[in-house]
Amino acid sequence: MMGEPVLVMLVEDNADHAELVIRTLEDHRIANRIIHFSDGQSALDYLLRRGEHENPETSPRPHVILLDLRLPRVDGLEVLSVIKQQEEVKSIPVIVLTTSEAERDVARAYHNYVNSYLVKPVGFEEFSKMMDDLGFYWLGWNIHPHP
């Protein structure tokens, strides 16, 4: 991925959390482009190229997906399950980024082949550091197939 534009998909329904993630990624120059969806159904439509997202030129696949669990229309665990069952998108790394520390949520996410599970820190500095580390690992150091 060296030198290649980085596309991050953010699936987050909380506008404040989404703004914080986007601002942190932009401030740290982690992503060249961030596409944000506020519900699980819209994210799946984009990933699976349904409806207005049919054209691969205007709907490129992301390099990584940041996924909240509590989403309207289709919840995050269902989105994760669908992604990991679809041949054309299952290799895209999915990182759950949530406030839930519930063991049941963690277990269900890993049962559905999540690549990483992160709990959002409460403080801005901690959150910013976590996003910075996440960006360097998943988008800088980690090697994965082209989407």
Q: Compute the distance between CA of residue 13 and CA of residue 18 in angstroms, rounded to an integer.
A: 7
SS3 content of the chain, % helix, strand, coil (to 5): 40, 15, 45
pLDDT band (50, 70, 90) for residue 3 = low
| Main-chain phi, psi angles of 106, to 5 degrees | -60, -50
pLDDT, residue 142, reads: 65
Q: Compute the distance between CA of residue 45 and CA of residue 96 in angstroms, rounded to an integer.
A: 19
Read off the pLDDT of residues 5-61 as tens digits, 9 standing for 90 and up: 788 999 999 998 898 888 887 876 766 789 999 999 999 999 999 999 999 999 999
CATH number (3.10.20.30, 3.40.50.2300, 3.90.1150.10, 1.10.3720.10) of 7-140 reads: 3.40.50.2300
Residue showing tokens 């406030």: 99
Q: Compute the distance between CA of residue 80 and CA of residue 57 in angstroms, rounded to an integer.
A: 24
Domain ranges of the chain: 7-140
Model confidence, pTM = 0.88
Read off the pLDDT of residues 86-130 as tens digits, 9 standing for 90 and up: 999 999 999 999 989 999 999 999 999 999 999 988 888 888 888
pLDDT, residue 130, reads: 84
Evaluate if residue 1 carries a pLDDT over 50. no
Helix (H) or strand (E) holding 77: helix 76-85
**Which of the two residues, 30 and 77, has the higher pLDDT score?**
77
pLDDT, residue 7, reads: 87
Q: Compute the distance between CA of residue 39 and CA of residue 79 in angstroms, rounded to an integer.
A: 10
pLDDT, residue 145, reads: 60
